[in-house]
Each structure stands twice: as C-alpha cells, then as structure tokens.
Chain A
Amino acid sequence: MNTNCDLIVVGAGPAGLAAACSAAQAGLKVLLLDEFMKPGGRLLGQLHQEPGGAWWNGIREAQLLVLGAQEAGAVIETGVSVTGLERTRDNGWTLWTNQGRYRSPYVLLATGAAESANPLPGWTLPGVMSIGAAQVMTNVQRVRVGKRGVVIGMNVLAMAIVSELRLAGIDLAAIVLPPGNALSGSSSDPEAVLESLVRFADLAPNAMLKYGAKLLQSSMTRNIALNLYPKQGIRMMGVPLQLRRCAIEIVGRDAVEGVLVADVTPRGEPIAGSERFMEADFVCIAGGLYPLAELAAVAGCPFRYVPELGGHVPVHGENMQTPVPGLYVAGNITGVESAKVAIAQGRVAGLSIAFSAAAENAPDEAEIKDAMKQVKRIRQEALIQFHPDIARSRAKLYQTETV
C-alpha cells in the first residue's frame, strides 16, 4: 500500500494538475492519479482560437501544466482507476484502485465531467459515439472517426468540437436536433436551442452567425428567425446547422450507414412526410456535460442540484473544501465550466489544502483569497459560457456577493 504522500489528487486534468502544482510548491508530497494513458484530461482534446487570434492548444497547455506539477515535485501515475475511497480512523483516506490501495490525509477529487446522452433508435451501432469521443480520437489519437458524419444535438460542447473536427478535415453532413421524447427535454426544442446559440456565438468564426446571434437576443426576433429559418440550415464551418430538422433514427446493419431525419415545426414536432435519409458512416451524440461526482457521493459528501452547473454538484465552499473533513473538489466536478476556470479552481484547492495541512511553505489567507478572486475574474472573461447564470448560482452556493 502506498502511504507516502500528503495529498492524492484524483484526475490529472486542468484542475488536478494545477492543484498538484500549487500544493507541491507549498511543500506537500502530492500524488496525482488518472485512468487515461496520459495526463491532461479533457484539456488534451481542446483546440480553439482565442478572440485575439492565438490558438488554445490543449495538448500544449496540458504539457505546461504537467511540467509545472512535476517540477514542483508532484508524482503523476496514469492508467490508475480509483474505484472507491473510505475515511480511515486516523482522519485520513484510503483509496481503492485497480493498482492497489493508496493512503493519504487529504484527497482532492478533480474527476471532471461526463457526457449526457440523447438516446435514439440505432444509437448502439458501431460508428455512433459521444461527441467527446470524436474529439479525443481526432485531436489526441489523431485517428479519423469516419468519412462523413452527422452530429445530433446543439450545445456549447457540440459547437466547439464541430469546429475541431472541421479543422482536422473531417467531413460533417449536418448538425441536427435530437428527436423529442421523454428524455430529450429542451434539447429538441428549436426555440430553446436558438436561445442558447447566443452563448456560443463567439465560438463561431462565421460572421453571419455572430451577427445573427446578436439579433436573436430578443424573443420577438427569435420567433421570426425560427419561422424563417432555412430547412437546409445555416452553414457553420461549412456544416449546415439545421435547427429545423431532427434525427429520427440511426440506420445500419452492422455499423452506421446513415441517419433518418425529418423537418420539425418551430415547436420541434416532426412534420409527417418530410423524412429523408442522410448518408453517414459515423454519428456524434452531443448531449452536453454533467459533473462526474460519483467518488464524492461514495465519500459521503452532500450534494446540491444546480441546473446552471450541469446537475448534482458536491457541496463545497469557494475555497474548494467540502463539508467532509480532508475532502476537496475542483474543476468540472463542481460545475461545468471552461478549462481555464478549472485551472484557477485547482490552484485555489491546492493552496487551501496546503493551508489546512500547515505545509512548509503554506500560503496565507490573503493568497488564497487572491486565488479565489482570480477564479471569478477568469469566469467573467471566459470565451465559452456553458450557462448564462453560472456566476449567480456559484455565489448562491458559496453565499457570497457576485461582482
């Protein structure tokens, strides 16, 4: 059993790496565990252009964070799946993994987010994957997911990854809505989706769409836009964004051969007789993200349901501490936001833990407060707004004033 550390960080994504770095710099012995084959988490797949024109290259950003953590003395182990954790009698933690047990007085859960699905007939066929799967295959593994694909679902994550797939030269036939059913909620409602388009307007380099998004901020113009919205869609990165069309079924015998789609009314109901077959050899299901917090639940941490943050989040303070002694959280497990926010939160968590552990070079309270302010600042400047009310719901969770 590995007992030789002060802090175990679960998840070597942006939050975990940043936390490991700041905690190790403060003098703690830090061990980072991740089940993927290389550190970086979902940051690895990210690739987009900043408003100033510079590229946010997730692979490079991850390398810098890994280097920072290692230089500070943190140890990173990959291929380790944490399967459970339990509080020990001496107020520490035992972690069960597929590589044996680990012990540590402090644990930081930085397990990120998982993708939600929008199930439809045929979605178990080979060639159907979550949109995040296509991102990893394309940008991290550098393998083509197929010849021509259809994306089902329109949300921030989908738009970001569609841009990345296009950049890699992957052909996409269309982005369509998921079919309306007991599970789809507002994701199959053209008006609700159109409203959310405003939030990712800055991601779309297409000037028309940006211009359109400004207009769409009023509900009256939104209604007009919806009625006039062309059935063949508006092109984004050369891909038709078909707000008035939904997928009905994914078709194929042994693998994806295409998608049956239908036109929908402005309210999202399929129009009888409008069905058509769209040829494709892969399909990406884009259902959005939810905080992956199962280990926090196992640890006995209480939860709050906060839709703005993506679902159930472990209760935590602005300093990233949970009500469970020795248990901290950072990154998307606390609510779905961009990688930059996760990095800033990770830094707060690392400093908070070092403070609590009275580490050799522990920060003072002012330093932690500064790091907390930095999280808010980065949240405000974020290019990708996963939800318009993140700041307000965070403030409510932390019972603090919003700026």
Chain B
Amino acid sequence: MKEASIIVCRCEEVTLEQIRETISKQGCSARETKLRTRAGMGICGGRTCRPLLDRLTAPPEGESASEFPLKVQPPVRPMSFAEWGHSS
C-alpha cells in the first residue's frame, strides 16, 4: 500500500510516508516528529492521531513506559480567545 496516500493526521493532512520518512531520516522522537511534520499539531490537538504517532515513534517497552510519549498540554480542547479570557 502506498504510504503517500494514507493520511495519518487529518487536521494537517500529514501522510504516513511523510512521517515514516522523517522518522527514518532524522531518527527523531515523538515530539520532534510532531514538530517536523506538524502531525498532531492541528486543531484537534492530536485527539485522533496521537495513538497512531505513538505507535510509529515509540514502541512502548512493557511497563517501563510510564509516561505518554507525547506531552499533553492544556487546553486539551480548542477554545477561542474570548472563552479563554472569560475563564481566566
């Protein structure tokens, strides 16, 4: 199957090929892959593709993998500046 035609991150339309090439060329971590390809950086904040990126970048090693490969930062849902201002 052509990896170029498989979109992994729907928000930013990043393909499996782009992600796999970046990982193999740069040998990068989940975080660096995200920054280089923009996969997981779209409006949903990686809600759909985060588990997929995790599978590609950091195969969990049993129970030693005690943290998320990708850091989670608030807001965990997108919100407008108006809402943000209202709440803080």
Physical contact A–B (CB less than 8 Å):
yes
Interface residues of A (CB under 8 A from B): 35, 81-85, 96-101, 114, 116-117, 119-121, 123-124, 179-183, 185, 248-249, 290, 294-295, 297-298, 302-307, 311-312, 315
A305 touching B86 by the CB < 8 A rule? no
Chain A: which residue is nearest B52 at the CB level? A183
Contact partners of B5 in chain A: CB under 8 A: 121, 249
What are the residues of chain A within 8 A of B6 when measuring CB–CB?
119-121, 181, 183
Take A81-B77, A81-B79, A294-B72 as given contacts and tell me if A183 and B66 are in contact as well, using a CB distance cutoff of 8 Å: no
| Among candidates A35, A124, A185, residue contacting B10 with C-beta atoms closer than 8 Å | A124
Given the interface pairs A81-B79, A121-B5, the reply to whether A96 lies near B68 with Cβ below 8 Å is no
User: Within 8 Å CB of A100, what residues of B?
Assistant: 86-87
* Complex Cα–Cα for A62 and B62 (A): 36
Q: List 30 A-B contacts (CB under 8 A).
A: A35-B77, A82-B76, A82-B77, A84-B76, A85-B74, A97-B87, A98-B77, A98-B79, A98-B83, A98-B87, A99-B87, A100-B86, A101-B87, A117-B48, A119-B6, A119-B8, A120-B1, A120-B6, A123-B7, A123-B10, A181-B3, A182-B3, A182-B20, A183-B8, A183-B56, A298-B76, A303-B67, A304-B66, A306-B63, A312-B68
A82 to B78, CA, bound (A): 10
Question: Chain B 1-29, CB within 8 Å of chain A: the 1/0 string?
Answer: 11101111010010010001000000000
Question: What is the total of A-B residue contacts with beta carbons within 8 Å?
Answer: 101
B3 with A96: CB separation less than 8 A: no
Chain B residues in 8 Å Cβ range of A312: 65, 67-68
**A89→B65 CA distance, assembly (Å):** 30
Q: Which residues on B sit within 8 Å (CB–CB) of A117?
A: 48-49, 51-52
Given contacts A84-B76, A298-B74, A303-B68, contact A119 B1 (CB under 8 A): no
B→A interface (CB under 8 Å): 1-3, 5-8, 10, 13, 16, 20, 47-49, 51-52, 55-56, 60, 62-63, 65-68, 71-77, 79, 83, 86-88
Contact for B74 among A83, A116, A123, A290, CB less than 8 A: A83
Question: Chain A residues with Cβ under 8 A from B76's Cβ?
Answer: 82-84, 294-295, 298
A84/B56 contact (C-beta < 8 A), A97-B87, A120-B6 known: no
Main secondary structure of the interface of B (DSSP, over half): loop
Closest to B7 in A: A124
Q: Report Cα–Cα, A181/B16, bound state, in Å.
A: 9
Measured between beta carbons, the chain B residues less than 8 angstroms from A98 are 77, 79, 83, 87
Residues of B within 8 A of A248 (CB): 1
Q: From known contacts A100-B87, A121-B6, A181-B1, infer whether A84 and B51 are also in contact, taking CB-CB under 8 Å.
A: no
Compute how far the CA of A96 lies from the CA of B78 in the bound complex, rounded to whole angstroms. Answer: 12
**Distance A249 CA – B1 CA, assembled complex (angstroms):** 9
B51 — which chain A residues lie within 8 A by C-beta? Answer: 116-117, 290, 311
Complex CA–CA separation, A291 to B6 (angstroms): 25
Question: With A and B bound together, what is the CA distance between A85 and B73 in angstroms?
Answer: 10
- Given known A101-B88, A182-B16, A182-B20, contact A83–B77 (CB-CB < 8 A): yes
Interface pair A298/B86, CB less than 8 Å apart: no
Residues from chain B with a CB closer than 8 A to the CB of A179 are 1
Which residues of A sit under 8 angstroms from B66, Cβ to Cβ? 302-305, 315
**A297 contacts B72, C-beta separation under 8 Å:** yes
Q: Which residue of A lies closest to B8 (CB)?
A: A119
Establish whether residues A96 and B7, one from each chain, have CB atoms under 8 Å apart when the complex forms.
no
Q: Which residues of B contact A311 (CB under 8 A)?
A: 51
A12: shortest Cβ distance to chain B, in Å? 16
Give the residues in chain B near A35, CB-CB below 8 Å.
Answer: 77
**Quick one: which of A117, A294, A307, A315 has the most chain B CB within 10 A?**
A294
